């Protein structure tokens, strides 16, 4: 008997990890997006130290070179190494994607949570704010902010996050509203738990899975948005490379060197695809009906 009691204690302690491994065993292919993303991140973080070319160094003697063992993906119109630019551009694109999602996630969770938990006038005011942000198509909002505050990378990160937070706030708001009147919340309040304690310790963990799924899909969206913005010349500025602004010049060389337009697109596409697949997998795993 003592034996089985111990067993129960151990499983009760790690329900999340055991569920994770059960899911992995059932469908090991689900791990692929996660592995590819880890690989990509390692590549852009460590790659620049191993690959011997400076992404910003122009070389007028070897412009628009084809693939070679010296320049793995050839060189661009200024003779800069394309693979080196993919690596350092990837750092920028991934960092902007992840950080801006963190901005959107934080603002959205705080505002959605406050509105859903307290209700009343606060809810009415905050949700009109959400309506306002939902009514401006994200790209126009971004253009307004970038016009006003320039395109420093930090501005780009905050801006892309601002274009996303309303969506997150809506989801979090609905969840907090749902839990506001549940018994475990009332119990915790009756026991003297402060509002912030109830919100952070009791309701937030219930909302987290949904927020994580939305955030994972959101990172993909943020990377696409940054790329489009930089492609239009309004995001990350050269000589700093990003996958988006690499495509800006490539379009002018479509006739001469079409392959230049292919590489950044493939890296953006694969990265976003993996974040989307990861989001779908997480949604399936966290779905209580499963």
Does 89 help bind another protein (rule: CB under 8 A)?
Answer: no
Does 222 help bind another protein (rule: CB under 8 A)?
Answer: no
| Tokens coding 6 | 């111990």
Does 273 help bind another protein (rule: CB under 8 A)?
Answer: yes
Residues 130-189 that bind another protein (CB under 8 A): 131-132, 134-141, 143-150
- Which one among 128, 181, 190, 289 touches another protein, defined by CB under 8 A? 128
Please choose, out of 4-12, 20-28, 207-215, 220-228, the segment that lies near another protein by the rule CB under 8 A: 220-228
Would you say 151 or 198 has its CB closer to another protein? 151
Would you say 20 or 140 has its CB closer to another protein? 140
- Which one among 228, 237, 238, 249 touches another protein, defined by CB under 8 A? 228
Residues 241-260 that bind another protein (CB under 8 A): 247, 250-251, 254-255, 258
- In DSSP terms, which residues pair with 157 in a beta bridge? none
- Which one among 189, 261, 283, 284 touches another protein, defined by CB under 8 A? 261
Would you say 194 or 251 has its CB closer to another protein? 251
Does 40 help bind another protein (rule: CB under 8 A)?
Answer: no
Binding residues vs another protein (CB under 8 A): 128-129, 131-132, 134-141, 143-150, 220, 224, 227-228, 231-234, 247, 250-251, 254-255, 258, 261-262, 264-265, 268-269, 272-273, 276-277, 280
């Amino acid at each position: 008997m003592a034996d089985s009691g111990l067993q129960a204690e151990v499983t009760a302690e790690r329900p999340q990890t055991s569920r994770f491994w059960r899911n992995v065993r059932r469908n090991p292919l689900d791990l692929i997006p996660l592995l590819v993303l880890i690989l990509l991140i390692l590549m852009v973080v460590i790659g620049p130290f191993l690959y011997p070319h400076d992404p910003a160094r122009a070389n007028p003697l070897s412009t628009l070179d084809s693939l070679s063992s010296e320049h793995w993906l050839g060189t661009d119109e200024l003779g800069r190494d394309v693979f080196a630019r993919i690596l350092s551009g990837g750092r920028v694109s991934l960092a902007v994607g992840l950080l801006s999602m963190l901005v959107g996630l934080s603002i959205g969770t705080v505002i959605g949570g406050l509105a859903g938990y307290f209700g009343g006038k606060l809810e009415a005011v905050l949700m009109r704010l959400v309506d306002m942000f939902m009514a401006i198509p994200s790209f126009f909002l971004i253009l307004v902010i970038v016009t006003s505050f320039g395109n420093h990378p930090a501005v780009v990160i905050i801006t892309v996050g601002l274009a996303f937070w309303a969506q997150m706030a809506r989801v979090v708001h609905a969840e907090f509203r749902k839990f506001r009147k549940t018994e475990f919340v009332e119990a915790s309040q009756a026991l003297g738990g402060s509002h912030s304690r109830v919100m952070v310790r009791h309701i937030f963990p219930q909302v987290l899975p949904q927020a994580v799924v939305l955030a994972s899909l959101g990172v993909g969206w943020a990377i696409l948005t940054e790329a489009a913005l930089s492609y239009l010349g309004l995001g990350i500025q050269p000589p700093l490379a990003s996958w988006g602004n690499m495509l800006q010049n490539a379009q002018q060389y479509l006739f001469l060197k079409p392959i230049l337009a292919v590489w950044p697109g493939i890296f953006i596409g694969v990265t976003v695809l993996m974040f989307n697949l990861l989001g779908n997998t997480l949604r399936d795993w966290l779905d209580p009906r499963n």
